[in-house]
């Protein structure tokens, strides 16, 4: 028996809860295939569906907004994305994307060509006639740890005089529990009740680096609200184009908001658990890779997020960890695990520094080549990157840094102007006393390590991602240290 609140698979009908209208989605005709680079899609590419006649507005041209807008356009909807940054707007209209996200440029260009996707500065023009208005604006952390909702409420204030009857405001941004209720109250105080405006929570679960496939093959879609017809409309926007049998979870706004935060807290906890386990394995002389391999075979655990590293980062996990701790404080509840995760993640970059010190001794004046700057591979996102945290601590100890990243050079120049950047990974090794691999870019595995070692002053390497095969490095004369691995172990 299906759990309450869980819609059936997208090709079937919704569940009874919420008294949703039973409108099974009919499979749409595939009119062509969109080929994507990087081997992201199936062999035949992403399916292109005929127009649905539905109009969608997306406010915010960041990572979440761009993927959602391009994805909905691929589904056959007419999509207008609102971006108030004039320079960014011009770039988007020309099909240029600042964000490094595999498959996204092709997706945007294809739907610009089909005239399903357009970019607008005028909010009124974009939301006119839209069935749903998705808010995908930033909600960064304030110094208190609380999420900054100023951008969300600025958009709502601007929307109020523009709303048409029965339009749906969809909160796609990650927002604290209770935000949808605040938005609803603000709308109702300004007469939105007469227009039957609905507020729906639809948190995103996109992973940077695989966001395009995550949109087309989601593991679940969460829709929270108090109006069944609005929930059904949002569900239908997704059903027409999803490439897998994805469950759609229907609940209230507050639960949908909590699902997002709870999911990210769990992921942050799992990453931190793995890092702590690697630290213990280091001390005990055990290979953590063998341990996690054995653990991950248990379906209750799974192998995902069981790779140790220098800590978690990015735009989501650190911010959402702070937000859920702030929520707990407001409710007078202690989240001991979340507090421990925050502290352990703060300390984890020190483990990488300690490994370099074990190889080099005093780091003052030592040259260290850095491979990888982003918080994970396949993105140019440097936000809360643990690689940068390691580098700051190395610099504080007097180390001289020279770094390479395959896609984030421009972002690094902006964030750390004095950092010496190398155009190639081998050049980051030139004259180095040690190398530190801080991001798991797969191209680092294919380096000619004999040639790289020949450029170095001393053959020392700390692999903070356990990316390389230790035996290969030791065969080339390197002193190799991984996370929770003894030198020479595979």
276 vs 282: CA distance, rounded Å? 10
Among the listed residues 377, 381, 370, 369, the one whose alpha carbon sits nearest the alpha carbon of residue 415: 381
Among the listed residues 219, 3, 461, 442, the one whose alpha carbon sits nearest the alpha carbon of residue 470: 461
Taking residue 12's Cβ as centre, other Cβ atoms within 10 Å add up to 14
In the chain, what is the straight-line distance between the N-terminal and C-terminal CA atoms, in Å? Answer: 45
On whether the CB atoms of residues 236 and 260 are closer than 8 A, the answer is no
Give the torsion through C-alpha atoms of 186, 188, 192, 198, to 10 deg.
Answer: 80
Q: Which of 112, 316, 382, 401 is catalytic?
A: 316
Q: Does the annotation mark 281 as catalytic? A: no
Q: Is the dihedral of CA 275, 277, 281, 282 positive or negative?
A: positive
On whether the CB atoms of residues 41 and 79 are closer than 8 A, the answer is no
On whether the CB atoms of residues 200 and 230 are closer than 8 A, the answer is yes
Structure token digits, residue 416: 């750390």
H/E segment holding residue 182: helix 179-189
Q: Which residues are catalytic?
A: 316
């Amino acid at each position: 028996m299906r759990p309450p609140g869980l819609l059936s698979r997208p090709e079937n009908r919704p569940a009874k809860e919420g008294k949703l209208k039973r409108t099974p989605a009919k499979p749409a005709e595939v009119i062509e295939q969109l080929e994507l680079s990087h081997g992201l899609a199936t062999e035949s590419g992403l399916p292109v569906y005929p127009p649905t006649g539905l109009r969608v507005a997306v406010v915010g041209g960041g990572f979440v907004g761009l993927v959602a807008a391009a994805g909905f356009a691929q589904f056959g909807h007419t999509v207008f994305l609102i971006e108030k940054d004039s320079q960014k707007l011009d770039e988007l209209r020309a099909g240029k994307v600042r964000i490094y996200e595999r498959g996204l440029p092709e997706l945007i260009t294809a739907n610009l060509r089909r005239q399903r996707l357009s970019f607008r500065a005028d909010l009124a023009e974009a939301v006119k006639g839209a069935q749903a208005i998705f808010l995908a604006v930033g909600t960064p952390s304030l110094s208190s740890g609380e999420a900054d909702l100023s951008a969300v409420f600025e958009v709502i204030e601007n929307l109020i005089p523009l709303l048409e009857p029965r339009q749906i405001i969809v909160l796609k941004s990650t927002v604290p529990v209770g935000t949808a209720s605040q938005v609803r109250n603000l709308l109702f105080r300004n007469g939105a009740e007469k227009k039957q405006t609905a507020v729906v929570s639809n948190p995103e679960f996109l992973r940077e680096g695989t966001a395009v496939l995550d949109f087309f093959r989601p593991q679940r879609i969460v829709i929270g609200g108090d109006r069944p017809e609005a929930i059904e409309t949002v569900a239908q926007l997704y059903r027409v184009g999803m490439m897998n049998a994805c469950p759609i979870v229907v609940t209230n706004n507050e639960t949908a908001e909590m699902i997002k935060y709870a999911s990210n807290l769990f992921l942050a906890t799992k990453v931190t658990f793995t890092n702590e386990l690697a630290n213990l394995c280091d001390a005990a002389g055990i290979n953590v890779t063998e341990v996690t391999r054995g653990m991950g075979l248990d379906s209750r655990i799974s192998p995902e997020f069981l790779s140790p590293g220098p800590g978690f980062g990015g735009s989501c996990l650190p911010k959402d960890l702070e937000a859920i701790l702030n929520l707990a404080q407001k409710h007078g509840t202690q989240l001991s695990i979340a507090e421990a995760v925050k502290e352990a993640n703060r300390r984890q970059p020190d483990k990488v520094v300690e490994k370099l010190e074990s190889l080099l001794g005093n780091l003052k004046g030592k040259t260290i080549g850095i491979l990888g700057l982003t918080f994970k591979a396949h993105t140019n996102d440097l936000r809360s990157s643990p690689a940068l945290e390691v580098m700051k601590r190395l610099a504080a100890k007097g180390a001289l840094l020279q770094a390479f990243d395959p896609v984030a050079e421009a972002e690094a120049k902006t964030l750390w102007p004095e950092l010496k950047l190398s155009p190639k990974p081998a050049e980051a090794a030139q004259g180095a006393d040690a190398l530190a691999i801080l991001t798991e870019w797969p191209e680092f595995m294919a380096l000619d390590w004999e040639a790289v070692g020949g450029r170095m002053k001393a053959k020392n390497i700390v692999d903070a991602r356990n990316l390389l095969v230790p035996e290969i490095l030791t065969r080339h004369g390197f002193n190799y240290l991984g996370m929770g691995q003894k030198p020479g172990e595979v």
